[in-house]
Amino acid sequence: MDYIEPLRVINTFLYLVVFVLFKGYRKKKLAIAMLLFFVSDFCVMNYNQLLYNNLTSIIRTLGYFFIALHLVPKFKLEMESKKALLAYSIVIIFCAVMFYELIDLMSLTLQDVFHKYLYFSYALVLLILLIIVGNYNFRYNSIQSTTSMYFIFSLIISDLFAFITYYLDMDAFYYPTRIFYIIGLATLTAYAVLPFRQEVLFKDETLAN
């Protein structure tokens, strides 16, 4: 399956070209994230080497960090939405436990202790990103916020499947990894370049009780 890795780089490059042609670079933090994902795909081609393995983790973590920075202005914790907050908290706790258990399973095959800490940093950034995008979608419930949910969850699911494939030696997750990655890049590009309507706060009285 090694031949697929160059195709992954080409695929990311094509989305990056579309991103630039349609002026997605105006959203500077998302442009940096796209560029970081492109660079990380080069590192993935040598993932068996410890240096590139660590670089991939660092670069992808930075990519998600810049996405989080882009979405931070949309974040505001509104405690009156108690049902939404409860549902949201359950999802975050579930994700936190899942990340911890997955890293614990992966620790048996990690090449050094430093890499384990890199994955904990990666998981922390992802949890923060999930908190921000979940809050964003609850507050606005718009096409734009939903698109952000799609691309973030697709990219994260792709990464999780990639870890399961590589570290737990479960090849059944290999192709779903690629599919979710393509969906994630496509929706990220759409989020950056499409002319969405101005967003307004979403109010649902059923969530306020």
Phi-psi region of 169 (alpha: psi -120 to 50; beta: other; left: phi over 0): left
The model's pLDDT over 9-49, given as tens digits with 9 standing for 90+, comes to 999 999 999 999 999 999 999 999 999 999 999 998 888 88
Average pLDDT, the chain: 85
Confidence of residue 80 (pLDDT cuts 50, 70, 90): low
pLDDT of residue 208: 42
- Higher confidence at residue 62 or residue 203? 62
**DSSP per-residue letters across 66-87:** HHHHHHGGG----TT-HHHHHH
Give me the half-sphere count of Cα atoms (radius 13 Å) on the Cβ side of residue 107. Answer: 13
Q: What is the pTM of this model?
A: 0.88
- Higher confidence at residue 168 or residue 122? 122
Rounded to an integer, the average pLDDT of 188-207 is: 76
CB contact set of 87 (below 8 Å; sequence gap of 6+): none
CB contact set of 186 (below 8 Å; sequence gap of 6+): 15, 151
